Amino acid sequence: MEIDFSNQITSGRPGPKSSAQTPAKPEEKVKGSPKNPPGSAGTKPDAKETAKKQLEKKDDKKLITSQADSIQYSKKIIKALKNKVKEHNSKHGKKVRLGQLKKVYRRGAGAFSQSHRPGKSRGQWAMARVNMFLRMMAGKKVKDAYRKADGDIARADIIDFSTYLYPEEQDFIQAEADVLEYDIDLYDFNPEELYLDDESESLGFIVEI
């Protein structure tokens, strides 16, 4: 069955936003609300302590500021994306390209600034978006809003898209494994300063896979 991506969107889905789609208040974006401490809704005895450690792990990440670090970090991301392209194309008839995954990764990294998911880093969020894109390209079930938003990348077109598109739990689970495997979860970064445009591979570095 072919998917029609003609219904382009420039904003979030119609209707009221769900609680997951509501951006965090400025005072809650880093450490959460004092009225509802991390893990207070958990059922396990150690839920609060586990949630607190997850938040501290996210908040302790250093921001990449130098060009050299940006290049090295970009190399790791590109290696991860290249391997995802290779794995996907070996299993599915609908192929993907490295340039497509770079665009999806950049979108996910940018959307992280509008997100509210305690314990998830920008790198995890971006990679989860890549995983969701690959599921869509493999013909698996994804949210209709996402098909419309990143469908332009599948068609190699450019349209506006909503930042309020959230990967599903399975995408985050895979993303956590990805960032650990490729050692790309130690830092926070400005998406605009990474070398993930389509010409990145001509900057003089080689990514071995």
Range of the domain at 167: 55-202
Answer whether residue 8 is part of any domain: no
User: Can you give the pLDDT at residue 107?
Assistant: 87
Closest CA to 70 of 199, 200, 209: 200
User: Can you give the pLDDT at residue 152?
Assistant: 54
Distance CA 200, CA 30 (A): 32
Its pTM stands at: 0.62
Mean pLDDT within 75-93: 97
Answer whether residue 186 is part of any domain: yes
What are 172's two structure tokens? 């985050």
Q: Does 209 score more than 80 pLDDT? A: no
* Number of domains observed in the structure of the chain: 1
Answer whether residue 12 is part of any domain: no
Answer whether residue 71 is part of any domain: yes
Mean pLDDT within 69-81: 96
167-203 pLDDT, tens per residue? Answer: 889 999 999 999 999 999 888 899 888 999 865 444 3
Distance of CA 6 to the CA centre of its chain: 24
Query: Checking DSSP bridges between strand 62-63 and strand 187-188, what pairing results, if any?
Result: parallel
User: Can you give the pLDDT at residue 62?
Assistant: 82
Answer whether residue 131 is part of any domain: yes
